[in-house]
Structures are given as C-alpha cells and as structure tokens.
Structure 1
Amino acid sequence: MNRRMRILLVEDEPMFRKGLAKMIAGLNTVWEVCGEAENGEEAEQLVEQLCPDLVITDIRMPLMDGLELLQRVKAAHPDIEVIVITGYQDFQYAQSALRCGALDILVKPCSKQDICLVLDKAEAAAAVKRQQRGMEQWEEAQRLDNALREQFLRLPCRPDIAAVLQRRIYGTKLILLYIADYSPAHKQYVKKDIPLLQFAVLNIVGEMTREVQGDAGCLLIVETGCFALFVKDLAAEQERQLQSAIAGSLWSFLGLRTELQEAVAVTALEQLPDLYEERLGVWRSGAAFGGIPASSFSREEVEQSLPDGGSSRMKQQMIAEQLAELIREGNLKGLKECLEQLTEAVCASSPVVRKLEALSLVFALQQTARKHLESESDAGLLTARIERLHKCGSLKELRAWLAEAIEHLLEELAEWQNKYGGSSVAAAIRYMEEHYASKQLALADVAGQAHLSPAYFSHLLKKETGRSFVTLLIEMRMEKAKQLLAGTSLNVTEVASIVGYDLPNYFAKLFKQHCGLTPKEYRKQHQS
C-alpha cells in the first residue's frame, strides 16, 4: 500500500487545532495527523519522536514561535516540509518563513480548499524528494558495484569505499557462478546477445535470492560470464537448494548451463581476488569460455557486456514502484501514459544499450505483476520474449515487442481488478464496522485493509455503495448511537464517546443532520 504521510500540528489554540485535525482526517488524501503540540518546544520533541513528513505550525506561539521551530526543524531534518499558519496581521512576518525554507503559508481562517492545496503541494514535494533519493541510491549502488568488481580484479580502491565494501561483505558467503555455454545447440544465440543474456541472468538470480534473503543478498557480475553472489545467514541445505534452483531456472528460462562453486565464508575484502583466481583460473588464463573463445572479445565488447547489476535492478525497482502506485490509485490513464513515456525513453536510448533498456523495462513489468497482480512466473513466456527480443532488428520491431509486453500487463491488471474490486470494498466495510468507534480511524487505515491507495479506495467505495468514506462512517456511528440512545441509560456525552466523538455538541449536530432529531428527542420517542 502507499505509505501514509504524517503531519504534526502545532497550534496553541486547542479548538482551531482540533478543527484542523478533523478537517484533514475527512479529506481523501494520504495524509494523517500523527501528533499535536501547543508550542514550538513541545513540537521540537515530537518531531524527534514521531518523524513526521510535514509540520503545520502557527507563527505566533508561547515559549517558541513557529519561525524558530521552522529554522530548527529544517536544520535538523531538511527533508521534513513545514507549512506556516498566520493571521492577516502577521502576513508580512510570515513571509520571512518562506525565506527560511517553509513550503507555503496558510492564512487563517483556513478553508478545506486551502488545506487540500497545500497538502497536494507537500505531497508533490515529497514525491520529488523520493525520486531524488532514488537517483542518489541508484548512483551509489552503481559506484559500489564497480568498486566491488575492481576488488575481484585487484584494482585499487579508495579507503573510505573499501570500508563500506568491507561492512557489506563481512560475515557473508561467496558463491561464484559462471555460464558454461553461451551458444547452446538448442538456441540461436549469437555474440551480440551476450549482454542481454547476462542481464537476464542478473535479474533471474537476483529475484530468486531476494525470495530467500530479502535485501540481505548481493549479486554482482565480475567479468563476462562470471558472477559473484554473496549470501548471508543461510544454512548449508538452504545454500544447496538455492544453487540447485538457480541452475535449474537459468536452464529452463534461458537454456543456459551454469556452473556454481560451493559457498565460501568471507570475512575480508583481501580474500576476494584469491578466491576468484583460484576458482576461475582456467577461464582467466584465456581458455575458451561459454562456447566462445575469451580472446575473441575486444576490451570495448567486454565492458559493454557488463551491465551494472545492483544499479540496474534498483532502477527497475524504481519503475516497478512507480507503476504499482498508479495501479493502487486505479489511475489507468496515468498508468498508460507512464508506460508510453517509459517506452519512448527506451527507444530514445543509444542503439548499443537499447535492447538492455527494453529488457530492463519488461523485467520491471513482470516484477509489478508478480507483486501486485498475483501473476505467476512463466518460464516459457520469458524464454519466448528474450528469443524474440534478440531477433528485433529495427526500432519498429522493438516497439512492437514492448507493446506486446505492456498489453500483457494491462490484461493482467484487468483480471485482477475484476477479481478483487468488489471483495476489497466488502472487506474494508467489514473493517469499518468493527472499528467505527475508534477516534483515530482514517481513510488510509481502511484503504490499507484493501491493499489500495486512499484515492482509489474512495473511488471504488463510491462506485460500490454510492457513499463517500466519511458519509459511510457517520452512518455507521449514528446507527450505533441510535441503538445506545434507545436501549441504554447512557447520557449523550457517553454515547458520543462510545461511537467515536470527543465533542458532544459536534456529535449532536451530526445526529440531528442524520436523523432529523436531537439525541434527546430521539431517546424520548424510542425509549419505552
């Protein structure tokens, strides 16, 4: 599900703060109020405890005002956005908040439209920062992959990077694997297909390792045909099962025979080149390898055939997450537009890497389908796709190949929506019926039970019931309130609290809107 975005409200006027919290809770957004504070000093402590994504603070407060809080928050936590609330008389003063890093200013009294606009702005800012962090992580993974590869090949490494690599591999076991034959008789692979095949190997082995290890494993391509897999906390039998599964999958998916060495414990970077040369010395001496003589590769060809495993898979992960978010939102138009943009990006890439980029996109599609649409791995489909890809001789044929894979994803999405649309809403409604009395029950909580984004869940709920989340929740609470008023001697304040309302007057107002009677009038009519 989408991660819920957390807001810390800082306001010394309790009624305004409570009203703002209720307004935010009633919006169909990913935002929730995770905490409230009366002044900047209290807020500063809560920021450390709650780690909010957004702080909405009044500008004038006792002990520590909003401007000082803003400066302290941005200094300690640059990624946390801050929105400042001000009255008209303080507007000039509040403008200085923008120069100190505030995302925006809210002027009292704040309407629902005002709140929606600034929350949309904050969500967009958070999305940009997530994308930036993703790119930084991708670049860092690429640097570390290259540095670890260089360790196997006895190339120099900066001490600070070596220290990072040492922590990364300490306590792991190393499994070296290599492709024994890149030109099996039953396949029509040629030398130019080797980059595609190696990229496919990285994805297949990486996915299998993640199923066993999560993110604890590390997979690296060292040289053409030679791969290093670091595993952690696996028993000997699990290691043998993983090795057997890898060999079997690469044969069934790609028709490639794979040799895997027994796992060896690793405690220091200095071990890597000796282990590598000892176990793959025959190939490194220049013997024929993979059915193609090693000497037939130029330096440029070797470098081109070495996709960056970690960074490529991270890029795929970023694409898969982007697609998954659109699926959870039910944004079919946005999903199609995103897929069109990704297709154009592939087609605009250099001819040297275009097929690799295309295969990377298709692996991202498959990852999305498996994780979010309950799609099963299909060895035959993957094999056929790779065989067709290496036969694509023109950009038009590559476009057609991508279009076929995208259409397959959209068909799987349609099947998934038909299967789960109604049942997800039914499950969410049952959850609401069980938890309607919770004062903290929010749209995001209920949407999470359906494994959908709040926005898409709201769309499905309206389609299935004709009512919004807020309307349906009020109806549930009012029906229970009617039972309590008619069947118990509890006073109105007690009934309000039981069905989820802190403020009896607010409860009474909603009850009259719903039933046409005040709570006391309803009790008088229905108690015998």
Structure 2
Amino acid sequence: MRIVIADDEYWAQEYLIQILLNGDPSWTIVGRAFNGKELYQLVTELNPDLAIIDIKMPEMNGLEAYKACKLSSPETQWVIISGYEEFQYAQEAIKLGARDYLTKPVKAEILTYLVRVLEEELVKAQDVLKNQLKRSVKNALNERIEIMSQNEVHTDKYYYQIALLYVDSSLEKELQTDLNQEFNRKLKQFLTGNRHITLGDLCYSVQNGVFCLIHILRKETEGRPSMQNYEAQFEEFIRSESKPDWAITLIVHDRELEYSEIAVWIKEVNKLSPLRILFGINQVWKMKVLARIAHYDSHYVHFCSMVTDSVNDYTNNRCVSIEKCNGLLNQLKMDRLEDDPEKKRKLLVYLQTTFPFIFNLDESPSNYLVHLIQKFSSKLDVVDKIARTNDFLFQVQQYISENYMYNLSITEIANKFHISPNYLSTLFHRNVGISFIKYVTNLRIQEAQKLLAITDEPIQVVALRVGYTSQSHFIKTFREYTGYNPSEYTGKIIKRSFKQE
C-alpha cells in the first residue's frame, strides 16, 4: 500500500506515520505534504493507493486539493482527518467520494484497521482484474470465445499497454525453468520499482517460453506520468537479461489498447512472432514493423512458422519433425533465403540458440538442416516408444484439463499435436481406458460439482464455466453422471453442511 500523508504540522505527520509503520511495515509512505498545493503535486505525480489528509491546510485546504486530485488520480482512496469544528467539510468530502473521515486525535487501532480494510479491497479488485486479463490472454492465444461472468470488473475504465516476451533456448528443460523463474522474479522487482507509473502490472508465463506483460493505465491523461523513459528503461532491462543460449525477444504495441482490442492484438502477435527467426532474436520489435514485413513478404511467416514447429517437435521428441525438416529444406530453396546473407545469418543464430548443436555460422542453412535431420534420427532411436506414448498422452490430458471449459474436439487436439484424429482416438481409448468424449465429460461434471459446492453462481454460469453453452444439455448430462439435477445437488450439499454444523 503506497500512502501520501498531508498535514501542515510536522509532528502530526510523524504521529500518523508511526501508527502506519507499526500497523504494517509493508505500507510505504511515498510522500508528505504540508499544504494543499504540495498535496496536489504529490498525488498527481505519484498516483498513490491512499491519501490521508487534514482538512485544514494553508494555500489550498484539503477539500479543495481532494477535488482537484480526483481528476488526475481517480484510483486513489482518500481518508479525511478533521477537528469537530471542521465536520461540515468532512461531510462534503464523504459526499464527493472520500472513503472515511477520522476525528482528532486519531486512534491508532482505528486508523490501522481502516487502512487494512482498504488494502484488502484494493488487492481483491486488482486480483479480479488481473484474473480477467489472464483469461482474456489465454483465450486469445487459444483462439477461444471469452465467457464473461456477472462478477467481472469494468475493464473499459482503463487503457492497457501490452508486450509479449518470447524466450528461445536449447538448454535443458530444468535449467530453462530455473532461468524462467529467476527472470520472472527480476521482472517483478523491476515493475515494483516503477509502481508509480501505472495503476497495476500483470506479468506471468502464458505458454512455455512465452511471457505476457500488461500495464494497466488510467484513461485520464492529465497528470499521468510519461511512459517514454520507463519504456526505454524496460527495453534496456530486457536486453541485459538476455543471454546467447537463452534469448529474449520483446514484441510491443505502438499504442495503448482498449480491453476489447487485447484479444485481437494477442492473436496477431502470436501469428507474427516467428518472424523473429529471420529478422532477429534478442531484439525489441514494434508490432507495426512485423505487420509491415508480413504484408509485403507473407511467405516468410509460413517459413518461420515451420521452423518454430520443428523446434517444438524436437523438444517433445515427435518424429514428425524429420518430415518438417525436409519440408523446410524445400521451402528454404523456394524462398532463396541462402542468397540473403543477413537473413541467413539470423536464421543460423536462431537455430544455434534453439538446438543443442554447434555449427559454424558460415555454414549454409540447408547443410545445417541436414545435420539436424541426422540428429533427429539418432535421438529418436534411443527414446523408448512406451515412454514417448505416455508422455504424449500426459500432454494431451494436461491440455484437456486446461481447456475443458471450451468447445473441445478431438480433431482440434489432433491438429495441435500433429497426428490424425483416428489415431489419437484409438491411442487415447487404449491407454486411458475410456473414450475421449467420456473423459472430457467426466472432467466437466467433476468441475461443475466443485463449483456448485463452493460458489453461489447460477446454474447457467456454472454450465458456461465448464463448457456447456446449453443449460438444458448441461442439466441432462449432470443428471446422467450424478443422479441429481444441479439444483438438487446444491440442496444436498447445503443440507449435508447444515447437519455437520
């Protein structure tokens, strides 16, 4: 919790600060003001979570400053401190939206309790927004239709600045995981140090080797800190963290987005991100530059997507990668990439970064790919077939558990894992013991039972959350699997809970 204190008496400020620091050491006093004008400047510049102010101050009283600051920092919460003779001012502040007022002398336990309540509300509101943003990004990456809950926050109140970070590496998975976690920790430290720039930041791993960073900004531009210096510092931070065998490529938008634009932008970035292979990893790319490349040289997108698919296949021991490498050789010749020294060099840098083999950068990409095919063959020969099958099915089941709430089909999953639907159906039934459809239905009904037991969501919302767009179909399936209607099941849970009490 970032707090500004305003009072024209030094010892009054010291008294409040001591109460707050004793209440929770994590609460930070980011600014102190001795009059209304100083308060306005501090709040406008720092955008604090909370301002605790005295009504009676020189130059501009607390109420006048509060009115002015509401425009420049609408997310800041306000607590008014007043004497009995200033009570009418405190009442007016409450009417204008201040959270509470306290009379002098302020009692430590009351102020501490109030700040703690406000902090809990702030954290809860940010968590709701961030979870919604996470779901929106995940839906976009998986090209899903977003399902909105009745409890969602008003996302149109903010602008969003988004960046996707792609990590390319040939290191062992365990080492990559450690580096990813360490990078995530450092990134959050960097964001914390620049907390006054934004209303909030969301940073998390959305896929293996892909991080999403979202800055939440208020729409009002008056008094809002400039992002220009911050963006330069952030890009420098990313460059400093990138390594030859663990390369970070940053793709950023050129402007702030509305919430409704996030999904479209994420899909477009994910589609164009493979272009980094020919135009340079370990760099910062503006989205409009990649879009321009794709517009004039669309065949490059196809070739680069084939390369990234081969990298993923190699990582997951899929023998289809050998065929893709042969396809890459043909595509390489068709696109005449070996005739372009700069693209040839960047392609080889990417291949050396993502495959654990060392070749000379002067070597031709086609020779490099021939070596890779040989490496693929020798690697796959020593991989146990049963182990690969179990690992493959684990990946399929994990994908289902992360996406059961969507309209999954076995054809979609088969395409994702580069095998035929018939083969996947046979493999799944033989090794899991039930059909794909029954497996998904079981998972959905189990999740529905959990939601009905621990939430007050209406049946229609629960149905949507577990993948049923038709409420009647959900009720029918739920009855077939549990013997109860959803409403009967909820009543049974409540009755059992009442008996236990």
TM category, shorter: 0.3 to 0.5
TM-score, with normalisation over the residues of structure 1? 0.36
